[in-house]
Amino acid sequence: MMQILKTMLIMAIATIQLHAQSQKVKTCCASPSKHSQFALLTARADFKDAHLAPEPINYKAEKGEMVTYNTPDGKTSSAFVIKSEQKTDKVLIVLHEWWGLNDHIKREAENLQKSLGNVDVYALDLYDGQVATDAETAGKLMGGMDAARAVNIVKGAINLIGKDAQIATLGYCMGGSWSFQSALLGDKQTKACVMYYGFPEKDASKMKSLNSDVLYIHALKDSFIPKEAVEQFSKDLKSVGKKITVKAYEADHAFANPSNPKYDKTNAEDAAKVALAYLKKGLGL
């Protein structure tokens, strides 16, 4: 009897250990978003304080409309799309900040389409319809975002755009990081990538497949993305034969958002000119 109990106890311990190991594997292999730099920042009060709630805008779209498309994971996603008046194979993908696909991003997407001209603009929704109006909610959305799902959203958009299109990407803050990831996903179709104060990619091996150069808009007063991180990003890109242009401004994080109470009009307008010139060159406009 004692031998039977001993055997059962050993088996029970082994089962518990196996379960623990399984849980450990699941944790270490969880969605990258859970361990991303931006996700970690959501716990910092100073990061939330630096993102004042966007001033509400009553924006009525002029040409853009929401479209729904299929994603490779068997689901659907949506994007705010502004089509050029004439048929074009040139496309700009816009990635939103931690607030989500709100009216500000829709307005910026339409302004970009106007400024670029013969280009279709797709502003993607990485939050599947959720939009934050306060920092607490934005932090939860960004910190809880499933990176695998976001990749599928971008891939689905690229499939919708079509394999013959020339693609440029542009994003702000969290979207700045996803602008780079989207550029990688665009593969040979990618012609330009604009990152507005987004966390730089740290894995140099991923950079090898980048098909374009990069324009990085850096806010020198940004206490969350230090100058050293941007410098390392530049070194890593150059080490694999890629070109990067860093345009630095004496401004704070999120300085280019006109709905942000800390909006820096002068620097934002200059950054926009630099970005537009870069995008036009990359897309051959």
pLDDT of 10 > 50? The answer is no
Q: 61-77 pLDDT, tens per residue?
A: 789 999 999 999 999 99
Burial zone of 154 (CB within 10 Å; 0-12 exposed, 13-18 middle, 19+ buried): buried
Least confident of 38-52, 96-110, 111-125, 182-196: 38-52
For residue 41, the model assigns a pLDDT of 56
Q: 121-148 pLDDT, tens per residue?
A: 999 999 999 999 888 899 899 989 999 9
Q: Which strands sit side by side in the sheet containing 120-124, from one edge to the other?
A: 65-70, 76-82, 120-124, 90-95, 166-172, 190-196, 214-219, 244-249
Measured distance CA(199)–CA(230) in Å, rounded: 8
Q: 202-214 pLDDT, tens per residue?
A: 999 999 999 999 9
Measured distance CA(279)–CA(193) in Å, rounded: 8
The residues, ordered by sequence, that sit 6+ positions from 259 with a Cβ below 8 Å of its Cβ are 54, 55, 56, 57, 104
Closest CA to 43 of 173, 127, 136, 160: 136
Q: 27-57 pLDDT, tens per residue?
A: 222 234 433 555 665 555 555 555 556 666 6
The more confident residue out of 201 and 55 is 201
For residue 188, the model assigns a pLDDT of 97
Closest CA to 216 of 154, 262, 275: 275
pLDDT of 105 > 90? The answer is yes
Strand partners, 119: none
- When pLDDT is averaged across residues 243-268 and rounded to a whole number, the result is 90
The more confident residue out of 52 and 258 is 258
Q: Report which residue type is found at 229.
A: A
The residues, ordered by sequence, that sit 6+ positions from 53 with a Cβ below 8 Å of its Cβ are 133, 134, 135
Measured distance CA(118)–CA(59) in Å, rounded: 23
- Please report where in the chains the tokens 């929401």 appear, as a residue: 66
Closest CA to 80 of 68, 98, 97: 68
Share of the chain above pLDDT 90, in %: 69
